[in-house]
Structure 1
């Protein structure tokens, strides 16, 4: 690796910024800091995890597998009756090889192109804070003017009887383990109905698995503040369209790997081929000597302010290790903010308007204010996506788009959607909300046609009484 450096070589350099962790937060921070003229060392504990969670076992490989699964599903379910008849056959090894090739391509781009161009050096080894201005890696002590901790997260393991034995035997797997499967299980029970469980449940269903989702809360996507999203996803999509067995208000009480049985709080015992643990992630703060240096940790996460700074002025933290949202989108901005402040700027991250997205099918997206239709402060309008011509043409005429506007000013303050391309459309809505645009101002926009993004405009038009696609009520 052209950018790699040994501990002894790193010892003799006075670094402006040492970044611990090479995921989204760490890598983006390293590049931004180098752009601002800082001398940057990036330390990664595991060579095979360069790129962190998002690149290796998160957003990137998930999107590749969902892309393949979507096409496979379309070829089986819809397209034969529309003129495209193919003998669709799933080659799991080839599919996972394509996923690995994508991961390697992205890592290589940074390691051999981006990092060298900015003079960033990479050290493979386990870092431990020695002081506010130094890091120990093996026998080497590395000095730094500023330090950024971006060590990411790992899957959370719930305290369920038999779960540890299940993980050791391979009967139970985490969301990280999923990406190392060599076959798609015929049946699987997913513990957790949050974003990870829903995305992987969608993926596995499309690849042929019989999927069961057990969620301890009263709906899917319990962290999304609009309950209609999770309820529609569970009832209309998962149960009715896909035939996925969704069990809410249900916890797993025991995992029995010997008999391949899962026992639930409702008294059921279910025999499955695999159990997938998807109950969230926990920050990687162990082994960093945070307590020795005095870095504040609360509920297992490093505490940071809006400048990505910890309670130690020259030590920053970014990404999942801060416990804030645990989204790559947030990690990126946190990392860049940290780098800019380490370079003497006064940058900050705004947590007030963070789009939340789930890459299921249909996709789910939410940003801004959540309100019920009877809330006197807001105008709440929900439009069916079935009127969108492209959604119809693409066999995705389901879901809805909801706009929340202030009743007095008519400014758009919330957007919630379950439907095609929701992950893209939510960003447009977030811009409108951030800019304080009114319903009438957005209604004047001209979009290309027919496109999925018209769903946003159509919902706005419905809010003003000018939507031309729906019959008279």
Structure 2
């Protein structure tokens, strides 16, 4: 058994892990990062990036098909398009390889040593790694746990065969005739919408009364309307019970009545859970917050010298949250006195239309005791939205009625994801609706809708 030692050992090279390692390396800390697969974690390899690639390809194909049916408002007509999914997946994989290679290069540039293999914790200062060349023992002064999460498996629908997790759904080289999506959250809807645009017969089954149940129904309504326009069958208050691989029939219970739906493939997206078992995190006996590792404002666990970042620390399971945590831990290990003090954590659903949520929803703000006003501006009155042929959606600013302090900003509509940065900045900078209304926004852009929503909040609407 070979032994190594380092100042900082990062277990997991996902968004949080690799950012932490790079920052540590840039600070001159002797750093080792351990990863069993390609760098970038779920997000880069089998999540965020490949799903957006599939969404883009599906949108291009759907647009081409709409131009072939003779109903293009733009006067553009093309021959009936076809798609080679094997080639599409190869392009998607090429994007992933380019980015994972970039991460590897950044780690080398920062002087981080990378060890490929499965790491298992021995104690708070030691990790054993099963590499291709044998077992390697690494001793460290500080340990950062960044092992990520995996899809939740339903006992009645175990993964395998025609039962897919998001990982397999993003790598199909042939289109199924039909796809049943179990779970109406953002992952299921993103992938389900993409396959619907590729011509697959898609059905969605959500146990709650409306899709995207973590958000209010006003936000999800435009998404639901678009799903129906695409021919997606959406079943609410629906619970999946079993699947027959021989007949390819999914059995569900909807409003206490049993239904059967033909499904060549079934995509299960009912949540994710932290990966702790593979790394033997339990040997440390750390304090837990439910099934997640409990951390403080400095991402410290209950054991001195052991930190945790990313999905293992709980919701929201977002790559950019993990990255922010990784930077904080690196700063602390470099001797700086910093802590988690984020007012805004943007969440983006790349559905159709896109949905962005930053800060408090109206009901959340009221539950916290705020006297709030929600000012909403429709994309139908925005010139740029009209030129994009998509006006289904709105921007909503949640603010205190008396002071105008912005508590939350939400949007649903074409291209709204790119406004998430402005939303977050407004909340982090403690902006008021007056600040936003007085800020010049370029014309014609979708961003003007934010200024218009602020003007509406002040009772000074211009284009409404």
Same fold, TM exceeding 0.5?
A: yes
Equivalent of 1:253, from 231, 234, 241? 241
SS class of match (1:82): coil
- 2:342 and 2:428 in contact (8 A); partners too: no
The C-alpha deviation readout for 1:43-85, integer Å capped at 9, x for no partner, is: 1123xx3321011111111111212222222222258441332
Query: Using the alignment, how far apart are the partners of 1:109 and 1:51 within structure 2?
Result: 10
Counterparts of 1:455 and 1:413 in 2: how far apart (Å)?
Answer: 17
After the TM superposition, which parts of structure 1 deviate over 6 Å for at least 4 consecutive aligned residues?
Answer: 373-376
Q: Where do 5+ consecutive residues of structure 1 fail to align?
A: 1-6
Find the aligned partners of 1:192 and 1:351 in 2 and give their Cα distance. Answer: 30
Query: Which residue matches 2:219?
Result: 229
Q: Does 1:337 align with 2:328?
A: yes
What is the aligned partner in structure 1 of residue 140 from structure 2? 144
Alignment counterpart, residue 171 of structure 2, candidates 180, 183, 186: 180
RMSD: 1.9
CA contact (8 A) 1:80 1:86 kept: no
TM-score (norm 1): 0.91
Residue 43 of structure 2 is aligned to residue 54 of structure 1: yes
Structure 2 CA distance for aligned equivalents of residues 465 and 76 of structure 1: 43
Match of 2:61 in 1: 72
> Structure 1 pair 149/337, CA: closer, same or farther in 2 (3 Å)?
same
- Deviation track 1:79-102 (CA, whole Å, cap 9, x = no partner) reads 844133233221211111110000
Q: Residues 142 and 459 from structure 1, CA distance in 2 versus in 1: closer, same or farther, beyond 3 angstroms?
A: same
CA–CA distance in structure 2, aligned partners of residues 324 and 438 of structure 1 = 28
Matching residue within 113, 117, 124 for 2:109: 117
In 2, the alpha carbon distance for the partners of 1:308 and 1:324 equals 14
Matched ranges for 1:7-406 at <5 A: 8=2, 11-12=3-4, 14-46=5-37, 49-77=38-66, 80-87=72-79, 88-111=81-104, 113-138=105-130, 139-160=135-156, 163-164=157-158, 167-168=159-160, 170-224=161-215, 226-234=216-224, 236-239=225-228, 241-266=229-254, 267-350=258-341, 352-371=343-362, 377-406=371-400
CA distance in 1, matches of 2:459, 2:261: 50
Give 5+ residue unaligned stretches, structure 2.
Answer: none
Q: Partners of 2:445 and 2:351 in 1: how far apart?
A: 20
- Of Structure 1 and Structure 2, the greater strand share is in 2
Counterparts of 1:426 and 1:143 in 2: how far apart (Å)? 41
* Count of paired positions: 450
Once residues 298 and 414 of structure 1 are traced to their aligned partners in structure 2, the CA distance between those partners, rounded to angstroms, is 26
TM-score by length of 2: 0.92
